[in-house]
């Protein structure tokens, strides 16, 4: 399946980072790209630069999404919009949980519900779900984020089953640390944040992720690239930790087994 088989794309979270890079990459293939984000100014700048069609919409606005998707048959859907509120789950805030579920998972579910049936009917389409290594690996302080990204991962698997027999491909992209503005969006616009997460590291750029997505889309029709982990060469996932308790409890004696 070459790019020439596709005409239209919808990219969420398109105003910066990976989303903006994907818009630019798809426009280079003469795809009509509908770029969706909340921030009007950077979206308009992206439209002026690339010729994409901007839509200032929050992905949690289901009615606006329905109006947009009802008017266009999308051949490519890139679910990229996402948020994070890093916090241990023991300190989880009700509003933070709702926000992560609404943006990271519920919006993806509804956009797939709105777009994928048309792909199936046309026997043509490609869904790109931007998940995260957090959907498969555990690290501290991001419990709600892990849960929502794991949901996106399972949805990607299930979409392939539900669309079985049709030429609808589903690719899950799982980035590790990428040099984007997401860290300042999450942790605040302070120079120390860039020093903590970006400066001095050898990290993939947003354009590198966009190229990986283009590779998956441009694969032959018989090829579905289902899952891609994109991490820095100098990043690994996992690790083993064993904690010492603050207080030592005496072991209870074994029960008497004498008959």
Q: What is the pLDDT of residues 13-25, one digit of tens each?
A: 999 999 999 999 9
Q: How much of the chain exceeds pLDDT 70, in percent?
A: 92
Q: What pLDDT score does 245 carry? A: 85
Strands of the sheet with 168-175, listed across from one edge: 53-56, 32-37, 8-12, 76-79, 125-130, 168-175, 227-230
Query: Mean pLDDT, to the nearest integer, of 30-57?
Result: 98
Asked if residues 179 and 204 have their Cβ atoms less than 8 Å apart, the reply is yes
Cα 17-206-186 angle, rounded to 5 deg: 40
Instruction: Give the predicted TM-score (pTM) of the model.
Output: 0.89
Q: What distance in Å separates the CA atoms of residue 166 and residue 27, rounded to the nearest whole number?
A: 26
Task: State yes or no: pLDDT of 197 exceeds 80.
Answer: no
DSSP 68-95: HHHS---SEEEE-------B-GGG--HH
Task: State yes or no: pLDDT of 2 exceeds 70.
Answer: no
Which residue among the candidates 6, 145, 183, 197 is catalytic per the annotation?
145
Domains annotated for the chain, with CATH where assigned, are 3-230 (3.40.50.720)
Partners of residue 234 on adjacent β-strands: none
pLDDT single digits (tens) 147-185: 999 999 999 999 999 999 999 999 999 999 998 876 655
Residue 145 appears among annotated catalytic residues:
yes
Partners of residue 171 on adjacent β-strands: 128
Q: What distance in Å separates the CA atoms of residue 70 and residue 114, rounded to the nearest whole number?
A: 8
């Amino acid at each position: 399946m070459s790019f020439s088989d596709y005409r239209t794309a919808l990219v969420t979270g398109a105003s910066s980072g990976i989303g903006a890079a994907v818009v630019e990459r798809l426009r280079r293939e003469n795809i009509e790209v509908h770029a969706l984000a909340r921030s009007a100014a950077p979206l308009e700048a992206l439209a002026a630069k690339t010729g994409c069609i901007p839509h200032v919409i929050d992905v949690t606005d289901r009615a606006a999404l329905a109006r947009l998707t009802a008017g266009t048959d999308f051949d490519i859907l890139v679910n990229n919009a996402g948020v994070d509120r890093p916090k241990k789950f023991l300190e989880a805030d009700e509003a933070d949980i709702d926000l992560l579920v609404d943006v990271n998972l519920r919006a993806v579910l509804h956009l797939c519900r709105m777009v994928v049936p048309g792909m199936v009917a046309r026997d043509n389409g490609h869904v790109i779900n931007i998940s995260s290594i957090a959907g498969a690996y555990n690290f501290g302080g991001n419990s709600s984020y892990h849960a929502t990204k794991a949901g996106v991962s399972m949805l990607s698997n299930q979409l392939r089953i539900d669309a079985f027999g049709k030429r609808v491909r589903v690719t899950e992209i799982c980035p590790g640390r990428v040099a984007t503005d997401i860290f300042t969006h999450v942790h605040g616009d302070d120079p120390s944040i860039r020093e903590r997460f970006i400066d001095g590291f050898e990290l993939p750029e947003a354009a590198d992720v966009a190229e990986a997505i283009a590779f998956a889309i441009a694969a032959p029709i018989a090829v579905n690239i289902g899952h891609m982990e994109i991490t820095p060469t100098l990043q690994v996932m996992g690790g083993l930790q064993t904690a010492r308790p603050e207080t030592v409890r005496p072991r209870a004696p074994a029960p008497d087994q004498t008959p």
